[in-house]
A = this chain, B = another copy of it.
Amino acid sequence: MATRNLQWVLASRPEGAVKESDFRLVESELRPLEQGEFRIEVLFLGVAAVMRNYMLNAEKFERPLAIGDVMHGRGVGRIVESRNAEWRVGEIVHGKMGWQQYAIADGSAYFLMFKVRQRVAPVSTALGVLGLTGFTSYLGLVDVGAVRAGDRVLVSGAAGGVGSNVGQIARNLGADPVGIAGGAEKCALLVSRLGYRVAIDYRAGDVSPGIAAAFPDGIDVFFDNVGGEILDAGLAQLRRHARIVLCGAISQYVNGVERPRPLHNAYAIFKKMARMEAFFIYELSAHFERAEAQLAAWIAEGRLIYQEDILDGIQRMPEALLRLFAGRNVGKQLVRVAG
């Protein structure tokens, strides 16, 4: 049994872009477990843009990080030791693990720990299509967006982590997805691989004419990952009783600072008897098992594809995060820590 741990700790707070030197790799002794705790051998860690905010203590839903603290991050791992009857040795779990080889958790809500039940795909997918990203895609579209067969669905950020699932899910449910993404390459991918009927390139100019052309009878469900102008453009084309799912608002951040712009077409929500709704995925955790089962079934049937970009070795965590910020990753950016 291992006795030592490798951990990435915060060395300095970023000014401007995150640098590798903002982190420091340290080795420490594993401490014994207390009653109620269990130890996880981390198999994979993910990186996410929100991590810069963690480094700046700019996200209220995360514990503040002091200089020298282990970096926050979600991972998937195997329970290797347990003093908690609910969490048994050998189980595969995903949740808050931090940038380290061995994590300690307990049953409390803080760790947002969930058991991996599916056996059809690699456990790394618990950080992507079979984890929160996939659950956000599925539950956002099905439970919040109330999508039905035949619905015309618009998805912004359609080539992103969530968006690349949403088109395929919509298609699998008999709906008709149209995606918005940036650049010809991503747009080609939307149509060739990700289930979208049509792709609209926002880098090619105003998306409004493309939306109008793709939705002559209006939009039933608008799954919005970006907010701002693109949200506004979609609102102009709502069909009666449309549902607008506010999943993300990446466009409303400028260097991590929120700069929301006014919505000119929000009146359409009133006129079209529509509904606009945001959600917090952790609050839908009662439905994760259902989402995982459906997503895993589609993967097994070859009806849901996903892409991962895996670096090897915990040493490469800062590099992985920088790849993400540089947009060099193709698919979900992960680091293999063990296994």
- Closest Cβ of chain B: how far from A234's Cβ, in Å? 13
Task: Across the interface, name the chain B residue whose C-beta is closest to A260.
Answer: B267
Cα–Cα, bound, A266→B232 (Å): 11
Q: Using Cβ atoms and an 8 Å threshold, which residues of chain B touch A262?
A: 262-264, 266
Q: Which residue of B lies closest to A252 (CB)?
A: B267
* Interface stretch (choices A189-197, A203-211, A215-223, A275-283): A275-283
Q: Mark A272-301, 1 if CB is under 8 A from B, else 0.
A: 111111111001000000000000000000
**Number of copies of this protein chain within its complex:** 2
A65 at the interface (CB under 8 A from B): no
Q: Chain B nearest CB: distance from A260 CB in Å?
A: 3
- Decide if A319 is an interface residue (CB 8 Å cutoff): no
Does A321 reach chain B (CB closer than 8 Å)?
Answer: no
Cβ contacts A224-247/B at 8 Å (1 or 0 each): 000100000000000000000010
Q: Find out whether the CB atom of A249 lies under 8 angstroms from the CB atom of B270.
A: yes
Closest residue of chain B to A263 (Cβ to Cβ) is B266
B227 near A246: Cβ-Cβ < 8 Å: no
Whether the Cβ atoms of A277 and B279 lie closer than 8 Å is no
Q: Closest B residue to A246 by CB, please name it.
A: B270
Contact of A278 among B246, B249, B270 (CB under 8 A): B270
22 contacting pairs across A/B (C-beta < 8 A): A249-B267, A249-B270, A252-B267, A252-B270, A260-B267, A262-B263, A262-B264, A263-B263, A263-B266, A266-B266, A269-B277, A269-B278, A270-B278, A272-B278, A273-B278, A273-B279, A273-B280, A273-B283, A274-B278, A275-B276, A275-B278, A276-B276
Interface positions of A (Cβ within 8 A of B): 227, 246, 249, 252, 258, 260, 262-264, 266-267, 269-280, 283
Besides A227-B270, A258-B267, A276-B277, 12 more A-B contacts (Cβ < 8 Å) are A227-B267, A249-B267, A260-B266, A262-B263, A269-B276, A269-B278, A271-B278, A272-B278, A273-B279, A273-B280, A274-B277, A276-B276
